[in-house]
């Protein structure tokens, strides 16, 4: 079988104390845990160099000794967390870079008797590994900035950038002899050029700063934390490009001036991470007793939140644990009504997660704010507080919340209106009287429930990729998608009306669900519109057999039309979100139905199936049972994935931002 050899380097303690960092050894521990959770023990060999072990000579020796013994089909991984810097080009190198500087890694003994490790030397080491036929993946969580020290670091963050070397560069003869030989041989490729077979992740570009910050379990590189989250959330089928995209969004969500990068030649970015050597477990989450407490190996990087529950996978009686404290890689839990065996590990699945209530900031007169507060406090079941919304102080804009809305009172005080944080109206204004207050709270609950479903996170990232949604253009007059010779599925989910000469015709598509696994899976396809309607009419719920496809919309073309109250004119557009729910067993779908905002509810197309317990109940969608006696609850695996579909009419003043 293909092997993965990983060399993980983390340097917090330098020979020069002024260079010390705090999160690099933690990065190494996180990286090793990620690898061991995903790669079979027989296929993985890890070597760690931390602090005083990571000297210049030690890193070169480990790179050659540990990563150089692989062969075709294998993968070498070099992960570095520590300082990066820049230095003048050594004399005699004829291919100086645009600014005449090299990027360097700062080893434990760098600048205290040993040079930095130059990027051109790393290129020589990379060529040696690639010459064996193995693939090479490098992860650099370090600065590569020429101007990094010109600005003060952001509060609570530390840049991983050692000061630029201003003194004379080392002689070429003081660096790796193979580098000097490559410089002297014009027939050889210049060290430093990107080579086939090499996938390179970088925490930032050469002009930026890579930062480390404090997370629940201690300090980490911001990029390492994001990369760990991406590898976990996206599952074993994720490509390098997908992992970078997920991690980049997470980093840029925290920092404006650190943008991770991926470099690779050809189709490498679109291949699975580590060349398919991943060996995912059946359920991916384990409960174990460690250091006097119970923990599951799912933490903040996996999207776990306090109050969630995990259940023992497919066992009777139903046994759960409650998440009491969330750390970065794991969570501390409390068994609910049972006593696990301390010397045993349990395979777990997520069974329940408290949905985040939508934060609502109110900008209104004190009397109106008080009336809104009292109504929210009693609008839930049994005159209890609403489970879907929470009011926050008027001075808080809700930007720290993942889901947020706003209520504004008109300047003349006569009306109130629900808006987004950008003040874009989401519902028409109502009078600022008692009826208007009740209507506003009803609007908030409706929109909040819609948002909670649209932003629901998967319990199982692996299962999330198990079923694919495929959309095919429907030619004029076609009534069904042919089994043979079907057109290629569309990838850009942006559809346009066509002009017939007398009017605008909406686009039509065929929708199909493809099960890529070797087991049957139960699927529901929800349609969430930008008028806050939600329904399961496209695919109310059926099993899709292993390696099989099922047609949505009863096999007929699905018309993507503008809402009935929206004028059909150039520049008009609307957005739907298709939300695919996948589970091991059937669950009810009819209670997902929401009418358009302020419209009377209507019945779903089909009746619901018996349901799984767990997170769906937290949506207020009580599972429907076929039999008089409820089936005993079982902890089952499930996942969700959302697709944004835009429908527009060409022309007009330009594309508007999709309504969310």
pLDDT, tens only, 311-341: 898 888 889 999 999 887 689 999 999 999 8
The pLDDT value recorded for residue 166 is 58
Dump pLDDT digits (tens) for 110-134: 989 888 998 888 988 998 999 999 9
pTM: 0.54
- Calculate the average pLDDT of the chain: 81
Does the pLDDT at position 215 exceed 90?
A: no
Q: Which residue has the tokens 């349901």?
A: 611
% of the chain at pLDDT higher than 90: 40
Same domain, 629 and 491: yes
The pLDDT value recorded for residue 619 is 35
- Asked which of 454, 472, 499 is the last residue of a domain, the reply is 454
Residue ranges making up the domain that contains 413: 358-454
Element holding 318 (H helix, E strand): none
**What is d(CA 626, CA 641) in angstroms, rounded to the nearest whole number?**
27
- Provide the number of structural domains found in the chain: 4
Does the pLDDT at position 611 exceed 60?
A: no
Dump pLDDT digits (tens) for 498-542: 999 999 999 999 999 999 988 899 899 999 998 999 998 999 888
Write the secondary structure of 434-480 as one string of H (helix), E (strand) and C (coil).
Answer: HHHHHHHHHHHHHHHHHHHHHCCCCCCHHHHCCEEEEEEECCCCCCC
The pLDDT value recorded for residue 335 is 96
In a domain, 657, yes or no: no
Contacts of 479 (CB under 8 A, 6+ apart): 556, 557
Does the pLDDT at position 382 exceed 60?
A: yes
Same domain, 251 and 379: no
In the numeric block, which tokens belong to residue 515? 């099960």
The pLDDT value recorded for residue 92 is 62
Cβ atoms within 10 Å of 43's Cβ, excluding its own? 17
Same domain, 186 and 85: yes
Same domain, 471 and 439: no
- Asked which of 454, 489, 508 is the last residue of a domain, the reply is 454
Does the pLDDT at position 596 exceed 70?
A: yes
Same domain, 367 and 257: no
**What is d(CA 570, CA 498) in angstroms, rounded to the nearest whole number?**
11
In a domain, 653, yes or no: no
DSSP 8-state assignment for residue 607: P
Q: Are the C-beta atoms of residues 426 and 447 closer than 8 Å to each other?
A: yes
In a domain, 660, yes or no: no
The pLDDT value recorded for residue 398 is 55
Same domain, 60 and 156: yes
Same domain, 336 and 378: no
The pLDDT value recorded for residue 343 is 72
Does the pLDDT at position 647 exceed 90?
A: yes
In a domain, 659, yes or no: no
The pLDDT value recorded for residue 244 is 87
Least confident of 81-95, 359-373, 426-440: 81-95
- Asked which of 237, 253, 276 is the last residue of a domain, the reply is 276
- 646, exposed or middle or buried, with CB in 10 Å at 0-12, 13-18, 19+? middle
Give 514's strand partners.
Answer: 468, 549
The pLDDT value recorded for residue 634 is 67
- Higher-confidence residue: 402 or 164? 164
- Higher-confidence residue: 607 or 155? 155
Same domain, 187 and 95: yes
The pLDDT value recorded for residue 593 is 80
In a domain, 655, yes or no: no
In a domain, 539, yes or no: yes
In a domain, 523, yes or no: yes
CATH code at 383? 3.40.50
Does the pLDDT at position 370 exceed 70?
A: yes
Q: Give the residue from 579, 514, 572 showing the smallest Cα distance to 548.
A: 514
């Amino acid at each position: 079988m293909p092997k993965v050899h990983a060399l993980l380097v983390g340097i917090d303690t330098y020979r020069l104390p002024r260079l010390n960092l705090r999160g690099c050894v933690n990065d190494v521990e996180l990286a090793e845990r990620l690898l061991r959770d995903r790669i079979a023990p027989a296929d993985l060999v890890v070597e760690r160099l931390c602090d005083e072990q990571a000297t210049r000579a030690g890193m070169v020796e480990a790179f050659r000794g540990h990563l150089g013994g692989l062969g075709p089909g294998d993968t070498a991984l070099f992960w570095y967390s520590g300082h990066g810097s820049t230095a003048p080009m050594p004399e005699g190198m004829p291919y100086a870079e645009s600014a005449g500087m090299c990027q360097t890694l700062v080893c434990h003994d760098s600048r205290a008797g040993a040079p930095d490790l130059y990027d051109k030397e790393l290129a020589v080491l990379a060529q040696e590994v690639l010459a064996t036929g193995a693939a090479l993946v490098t992860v650099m969580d370090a600065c590569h900035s020429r101007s990094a020290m010109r600005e003060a670091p952001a509060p609570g963050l530390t840049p991983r950038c050692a000061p630029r070397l201003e003194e004379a560069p080392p002689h070429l003869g003081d660096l790796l002899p193979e580098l000097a030989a490559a410089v002297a041989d014009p027939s050889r490729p210049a060290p430093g050029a990107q080579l086939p077979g090499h996938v390179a992740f970088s925490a930032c570009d050469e002009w930026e700063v890579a930062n480390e910050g404090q997370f629940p379990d201690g300090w980490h590189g911001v990029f390492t934390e994001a990369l760990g989250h991406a590898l976990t959330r996206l599952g074993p089928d994720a490509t390098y490009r997908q992992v970078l995209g997920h991690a980049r969004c997470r980093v840029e969500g925290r920092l404006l001036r650190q943008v991770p990068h991926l470099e690779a030649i050809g189709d490498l970015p679109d291949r699975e991470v580590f060349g398919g050597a991943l060996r995912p477990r059946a359920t991916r989450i384990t409960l174990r007793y460690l250091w006097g407490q119970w923990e599951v190996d799912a933490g903040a990087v996996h999207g776990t939140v306090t109050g969630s529950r995990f259940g023992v996978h497919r066992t009777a009686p139903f046994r759960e644990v409650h998440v009491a404290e969330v750390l970065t890689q794991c969570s501390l839990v409390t068994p609910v009504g049972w006593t696990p065996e301390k010397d045993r590990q349990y395979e777990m699945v997520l069974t329940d997660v408290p949905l985040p209530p939508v934060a609502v900031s109110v900008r209104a007169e004190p009397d109106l704010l008080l009336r809104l507060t009292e109504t929210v406090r009693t609008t839930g079941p049994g005159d209890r507080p609403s489970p879907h919304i929470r009011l926050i102080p008027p001075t808080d804009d809700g930007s720290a919340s993942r889901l947020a809305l706003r209520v504004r009172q008109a300047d003349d005080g006569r009306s109130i209106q629900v808006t987004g944080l950008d003040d874009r109206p989401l519902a028409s204004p109502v009078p600022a009287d008692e009826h208007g207050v009740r209507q506003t709270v009803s609007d908030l609950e409706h929109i909040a429930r819609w948002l909670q479903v649209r932003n629901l996170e998967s319990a199982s990232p692996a299962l999330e990729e198990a079923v694919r949604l495929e959309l095919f253009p429907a030619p004029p007059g076609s009534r069904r998608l042919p089994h043979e010779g079907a057109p290629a599925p569309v990838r850009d989910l942006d559809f346009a009306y066509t002009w017939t000469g007398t009017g605008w015709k909406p686009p039509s598509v065929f929708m199909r669900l493809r099960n890529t696994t070797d087991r049957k899976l139960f699927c529901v396809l929800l349609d969430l519109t930008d008028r806050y309607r939600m329904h399961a009419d496209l695919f109310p719920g059926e099993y899709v057999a292993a390696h099989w496809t099922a047609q949505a919309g009863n096999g007929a073309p699905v018309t993507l039309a503008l809402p009935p109250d929206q004028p059909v004119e150039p520049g008009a557009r609307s957005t739907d979100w298709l939300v695919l729910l996948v589970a091991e067993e059937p669950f009810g779908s009819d209670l997902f139905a929401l009418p358009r905002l302020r419209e009377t509810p209507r019945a779903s197309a089909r009746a619901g199936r018996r349901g799984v317990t767990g997170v769906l109940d937290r949506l207020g969608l009580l599972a429907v049972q076929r039999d008089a006696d409820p089936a005993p609850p079982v902890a089952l695996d499930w996942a969700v994935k959302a697709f944004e579909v835009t429908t527009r009419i060409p022309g007009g003043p330009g594309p508007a931002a999709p309504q969310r």
